[in-house]
Structure 1
Amino acid sequence: MSYSACNSIIVQSDAELSAAEAHGLATGLLCINDQADSAYWLAELLQDSDSVNDENQYMLVRLFEETRRLLGSDEFEFDLFLPEDDISLVEQAEALKSWCRGFLFGIGSGASGAKWPKEARDILKDIAEFTKLDANAEGEEDEQAFMEITEYLRSAVLLLRDELGNHSRDNDDIDDDFID
């Protein structure tokens, strides 16, 4: 599914999110609980919107389930769901900020007040900082920075999935000093 097709579905439903933020939300939920239900995600995603027809709902559920599959893959296939490369860097940067907001919301929605390892907390702080990026990006230097941030996020998400998804099953490695 293309980003623009998914974004159109979400915009048509009057959801106050973009496809990037919706994907971030799904990713955050799945990092906390790889068994998360797509119905919960859809309810969060479309809570204040008009109903979505069955075909579009099916497409959104496919996005959620594909995200689950990619997160669980041993092939490092997961990637952020952002606008295509032919879209302006400004729009891509805005989508990246939205993805980060959605991810943090998904993590928060799926978390139950647990203490997490320091490395996980540091990554979450980085992601929170990315929500404040200056989206007025242009030029080769900004493009390079954008690519580095997306690659960092891609790797960080997979690390967080391992760390946060396992925290409830194995609390032996958790730093008791939750707040630095």
Structure 2
Amino acid sequence: MKAASEMYEVLSSMMERETISSDAAEVQGIQCGMLAGGMLLESQEWLDSLADFINQGKPLPDNIKQQAQLLQGQNCQQLVEAEFALSLCLPDDAAPINDRGQALINWVHGFMLGFGLHQSDLTKCSSEVKEALEDFAEIARMDDAMPEDEESEHALNEVMEYVRISAMLCFNELGQSASDQQAKPKTIH
């Protein structure tokens, strides 16, 4: 399994070469948002949605599709693990702070988009999930440049951890696997 920062560099570079104006953070955000919104872990429908949003509806080039599938497999595995193992696909800690901050904003944008595709009824959500989604909307609007200092590093790391934990909270409450579906009783009308 590739480290999240390595996956970010590989997939983002491929997308740049293909003139796709997105990055791996947004891709993972979309994928995780769809899963947290209730898309089945086993579903492949995210591929078409991803192509619609990052490649103007055209099929993704094979190399990007393969990397996105690898990333999706890692997401699914990490989301179902009991150890809160989700690793955000963001630039390495050595990257400039504003690059990491922008990637986090892209991740949150993607998450909100993917979540919205699969969860339109927020009345089912707990107050914690609703609060996390409101916070995500605030994070998505952030656009101030951050100084390269320790205080900004600390603040960014706290927001990154909050986003990571909140995404897992959403998945734990609303996400589902095929076994979850089989466990639900069938309604007979």
Q: Is the TM-score greater than 0.5? A: yes
Letter in 1 for 2:14: I
Q: Secondary structure at the match of 2:45?
A: helix
Instruction: Tell me, in whole angstroms, the C-alpha distance in 2 between the residues paired with 1:114 and 1:152.
Output: 20
Corresponding residue for 1:88? 96
Structure 1 segment 1-180 matched on structure 2, within 5 A: 1=2, 2=6, 3-33=8-38, 35-36=40-41, 39-47=44-52, 48=56, 51-115=59-123, 116-138=125-147, 139-165=149-175
Higher relative contact order (CA 8 A, sep 6+): 2
RMSD of aligned Cα (Å): 2.2
Gaps of 5+ in 2: 182-189
Q: Secondary structure at the match of 1:46?
A: helix
Instruction: Give the length in aligned residue pairs.
Output: 168
Report which stretch shifted further, 150-159 or 41-50: 41-50
Letter in 2 for 1:127: F
TM-score by length of 1: 0.83
Corresponding residue for 2:187? none
Q: Secondary structure at the match of 1:62?
A: helix
Report which stretch shifted further, 28-37 or 58-67: 28-37
Instruction: Tell me, in whole angstroms, the C-alpha distance in 2 between the residues paired with 1:87 and 1:22.
Output: 19
Instruction: Tell me, in whole angstroms, the C-alpha distance in 1 between the residues paired with 2:122 and 2:133.
Output: 14
Identity of aligned residues (%): 28
| Contact 1:34-1:68 at 8 Å conserved across structures | no
1:36 shift after superposition: 4.5
Corresponding residue for 1:174? none
Instruction: Tell me, in whole angstroms, the C-alpha distance in 1 between the residues paired with 2:25 and 2:160.
Output: 12
Q: Secondary structure at the match of 1:79?
A: coil
Report which stretch shifted further, 64-73 or 133-142: 133-142
Q: Would the alpha carbon gap of residues 41 and 34 (structure 1) be closer, same or farther in structure 2, given more than 3 Å must change?
A: closer
1:140 shift after superposition: 0.8
Structure 1 stretches of at least 4 aligned residues deviating more than 6 Å after TM superposition: none
Q: Would the alpha carbon gap of residues 16 and 55 (structure 1) be closer, same or farther in structure 2, given more than 3 Å must change?
A: closer
Q: Would the alpha carbon gap of residues 39 and 13 (structure 1) be closer, same or farther in structure 2, given more than 3 Å must change?
A: farther
Q: Secondary structure at the match of 2:175?
A: helix
TM-score by length of 2: 0.79
